[in-house]
Amino acid sequence: MFQNVIVRKPARSLVEGITSAPELGRPDYDLAVKQHQAYREALAACGVKVRVLEPLEAYPDSCFVEDTAVLTRHCAIVSNPGAASRNGEAREMLPTLREFFPPERIESIQTPGTLEGGDVMMVGDHFYVGRSARTNEEGIRQFLAILNRHGLTGSEVPLEKVLHLKTGVNYIENDTLLVSGEFVDKPEFRRFRKIVVPPEEAYGANCIWVNDRVLVPLGYPTVEREVRKAGYEVLLTDTSEYRKLDGGLSCLSLRF
């Protein structure tokens, strides 16, 4: 069960964030602020304490805090984002991590290694890490070594098409995965029960489990229906403005 969540309010510079889908248009900042507030309320309804950080105008993508660190039961691992414009975000997160973890339990990925939290999926004490355009071989090597030092395990998952691992596969506990696209038949995930997301709702695969509830993005009825059928209580959360910047529900928080 999660006890804490860290989020960061979107900066006004959000509208200049990185995107691979310019055809979706620029985010509406005021709407993004309202959606972020609703997201925080949904998390709080799951029984966690939400630590809200102030905006960082120097970093347009800084509301996507998941990419700055990987938080485990035993340690915090500060990332080294593969997108150059985001390198400083991980350093900005460090003071907050020190509120929750002692110094000997805070590790970091060092250059030339790169790693973004969106490429890491936690399944108990095992961590799947995607090798992507943002997370490289050296970053994964360091990450797995850190896990091993703290009694945890991990394994690499090569990515073919998506930006981050959790763009297309997300663990919602109870041995269940939401999968879309290239992840439907990945051998690494053969043992799991799978909820297959249709191509037209691929964005909806990025759901998050928080203390027996699942946050599902608004507007993906197949995903909502199948998650409910699997026995979960669903909280619908609108992330339309964050989708314009390749962001989803998991990207907006660190849960631990």
Continuous H helices in 137-237? 137-149, 221-229
pLDDT of residue 161: 86
- Give the H or E element holding residue 33: helix 29-44
What per-residue string of b and e applies to 67-90 under the rule 16 or more CB within 10 Å gives b? bbbbbbeebbbbbbbbeeebeebb
Residue 142 CB-density burial (10 A; 0-12 exposed, 13-18 middle, 19+ buried): buried
Provide the 10 A C-beta neighbour count for residue 8: 25
Residue 153 DSSP label: E
Tokens 């797995």 belong to 144
The pLDDT averaged over each successive group of 10 residues in the chain (256 residues) is 98 96 97 98 98 98 98 98 93 98 98 98 98 96 98 96 94 98 96 98 98 98 98 98 98 98
* Strand 233-237 with 213-217, pairing: parallel
Extract the tokens encoding 245.
């910047």
Global pTM reads 0.97
Continuous H helices in 104-183? 137-149
Q: Which residues are catalytic?
A: 164, 251
pLDDT of residue 45: 98
- Give the H or E element holding residue 231: none
